[in-house]
Amino acid sequence: MTKTWAVLRDRNARLYLTGVLVSGFGTSALWLVSGVWVKDLTGSDGLAALCMLAMWAPTLAGPLLGTLADRVRRKPLLIGANLLLAALLPVLLTARVPVVLTVLVVYGAVGVVHDAAESALVAGAVDPSLLGDFNGLRMAITEGMKVIAPLAGAGLYALHGGPAVALLDALTFALAAGVYAGLRVREAGLSRAEAPVQERAPAREEHPGPSPRTPFTEGARHIWAHPALRPLILAGGTTMFCAGLNGALLYAVIDGLGRSPAYAGVLYAVQGAGSVAVGVFSGPALRRLGERRFAGYAVVLTAVAAGLRAVPSEPLALAVSAAIGVGLPGVLIAALTAVQRETPDALLGRTAATAHTLVFAPNALGLAAGAALVEPVGQRPLSAVLGVVWLASAVPLFQRPASAERIASRSPSDANPA
């Protein structure tokens, strides 16, 4: 835990985490309220569901959007993204459904660019030995906000309506921009006279600045050719597909327990508590196990927990939710940390965004598959089969990785990233 506390003593890491806390609160609040708001305006469940799709859909363009973080200076891009959303969100005060959906699409697209710039900038601004701890704490904060902020947003919506939540979110982005402005980083391609002074020299290897000629597909090529990244990203994508399928079974699980649908809130809260816990302890675990084994054990835990949902028991259901909360973020933390450590700086923005797309896009397919199968097949058989299939996906993470030299010889991206 010593290095975990060291993250909080690192000025840049502390500022990043503060920015995540502030903007994450507003995002989580708006995520819930936007759907409720559109439902109240139109009475349509379909249009309300489109709100979540509108915010999520730009993730599919991650490889292209993330390239922006490799072609311009990342700190100004990060600040500009927050200021853009702060200026854009008050447009929601018009309370017109087409405007709401359009703003949410832009919101999602800017979020993809923001996350790519943040991941790339963090890798150079935070000591490499602290990246696992940082990503764990970031996950803990994000998951904690998913528990707290929707409740706060729903309360504010009940009192003052959707415009008040939109203004709150705009304020959080304005504050986050101010926080990111305080970062002390030196970006590739800047001279010493132009760059702010860092508190310490970065331990990360220096790489040439990004080139406009480098195609956005180079991030995907780098992931596929890298012996450490490929199995982690594949495991992350498989895990999120299985998580989507498992999530689609939730209300059938609750029916089997004889509980009302509102019991989902209890299970989500328990899962959120598990996610916060793993975020705090992931740094030490990554140092002890390495990214592959840490992700492998996380997949095993999550798969076994999902399979046990075939047993109708309320105490077991609570334990399973906590275990999924611990295991699911573990795979994501390991994958993101590996991407930051193993990717040249000139490719890091597009590679991080590509990794996010490859990992999170399968979640929607899993949700669709679960929704289609739960009634004709039944929740218990599906849960049992899902647990076995999910468990099998962990096998490659415990196998000996391929020779880095042999794979690198087939990959021009490693030798010439820009």
pLDDT in tens, 206-223: 444 445 456 778 888 899
Structure tokens at 2: 């010593």
- The sign one gets for the Cα dihedral 186, 192, 196, 199 is positive
Residue 137 contacts residue 280 (beta carbons within 8 Å): yes
Q: What is the pLDDT of residue 232?
A: 93
Among the listed residues 348, 300, 354, the one whose alpha carbon sits nearest the alpha carbon of residue 328:
300
Q: What are phi and psi of 258, to 5 degrees?
A: 75, 25
Q: Identify the weakest region by mean pLDDT among 75-79, 85-89, 131-135, 197-201.
A: 197-201
**CA 158, CA 179: separation in Å to the nearest integer?**
30
Question: Which amino acid, 67?
Answer: T
Residue 136 contacts residue 281 (beta carbons within 8 Å): yes
CA atoms within 13 A on the CB side of 336: 29
Q: Is the pLDDT of residue 84 over 90?
A: yes
- Average pLDDT of span 385-411: 71
- The DSSP secondary-structure symbol of 217 reads T
**CA 283, CA 290: separation in Å to the nearest integer?**
10
Over its C-alpha atoms, the chain yields an Rg (Å, rounded) of 21
pLDDT band at 287 (very low <50, low <70, confident <90, very high): confident
Q: What is the pLDDT of residue 402?
A: 53
Strands (E), 128-250: none
What's the whole-model pTM score? Answer: 0.78
Residue 304 contacts residue 391 (beta carbons within 8 Å): yes
- The DSSP secondary-structure symbol of 347 reads G
**CA 128, CA 112: separation in Å to the nearest integer?**
23
